[in-house]
Structure 1
Amino acid sequence: MARVLVIGLDPAKIEGWDPAPVQAAIARGQARFDDLGIESDMCLVVPDENPEAVIVEALTSAEYACVVIGGGIRKHEPLLELFEKVVNLVRRHAPGAAIAFNSGPEDTADAAQRWLS
């Protein structure tokens, strides 16, 4: 069975806003993986807490058919350098994995499924 890794920002550790709505959306997105029968792992990072090491650990913990990089990392311009690092870490540590992008936490499984079919 194909396995998917989702890499995103940890909403609980971003200051200045309520993480509950994002956490709820992530939970709904994870439930969608379950509904589709797709195994998935989450790798939630904090930009100021050595995210590269956390991502490498996640990428090397299993064999992934697809890695979804979340919008929090991709869309926030101050995180452009982190986004580049994530893409290159995926290429280096999971070279056989497709890379997918979601539009939000709830369609993450659909983003992965485009590459798993």
Structure 2
Amino acid sequence: MDTTDPAPRVLVIGFDPYRVPGPWDPQPVADAMEVGLARFAEHGVGVETCLFGLDGSDDVAAVVAAALAARPWECVVVGGGVRKPEDQLELFEQVINLIRRHAPDAAIAFNTNPTDTFDAAARWIA
């Protein structure tokens, strides 16, 4: 019996909930992300995450570009609130253009919340 994890096919890009400034509790978001990522294992699909902070401690372009260049991706899911807040529109555009540049063959998907990340990817992977 093969006990190794499947090779990652999906990259999930989003905010690290513990490094988003503000007076809020990141734990519910982190818990929902774990639930969503567990669904990949349930379906035998490999997944990796690329999470970055909004606390100024990350060079977002470098972090995302490195993750995208790490391997060929079948699908890249942009979630974690990257596309929703209007004040992050420039960041969202930057992420999409990095995907286009560094993973041109990958499908791009969007989740509606952390628990449906697998569903977003499943629309595009075989």
TM-score range, shorter chain: over 0.9
Which structure has the highest helix share of the two?
A: 1
* Runs of 5+ consecutive residues of structure 1 not aligned to the other structure: none
Q: Report what 2:11 is aligned to.
A: 5
Equivalent position to 2:53, from 46, 57, 61: 46
Q: What fraction of aligned residue pairs are identical, expressed as a percent?
A: 52
Equivalent position to 2:34, from 21, 27, 50: 27
| Secondary structure at the counterpart of residue 82 of structure 1 | helix
Q: Report what 2:3 is aligned to.
A: none
| Cα displacement (A) at 1:53 | 0.5
State the alpha-carbon separation in 2 of the partners of residues 65 and 28 from structure 1: 21
- Structure 1 position 76 matched with structure 2 position 85: yes
Q: Does the 8 Å contact 1:2/1:116 carry over to 2? A: no
Q: 1:81 to 1:29 in 2, by over 3 A?
A: same
| Secondary structure at the counterpart of residue 64 of structure 1 | coil
Paired residues for 1:93-104 under 5 Å: 93-104=102-113
Task: Tell me the TM-score normalised to structure 2 length.
Answer: 0.89
* Runs of 5+ consecutive residues of structure 2 not aligned to the other structure: 1-6
- Structure 1 position 18 matched with structure 2 position 25: yes
| Cα displacement (A) at 1:2 | 6.5
Structure 1 stretches of 4+ moved >2 Å: none
Tell me which amino acid in the other structure corresponds to 1:115: W
* Cα RMSD after superposing both structures: 1.2
Aligned pair count reads 117
Task: Tell me the TM-score normalised to structure 1 length.
Answer: 0.95
Q: Report what 1:108 is aligned to.
A: 117
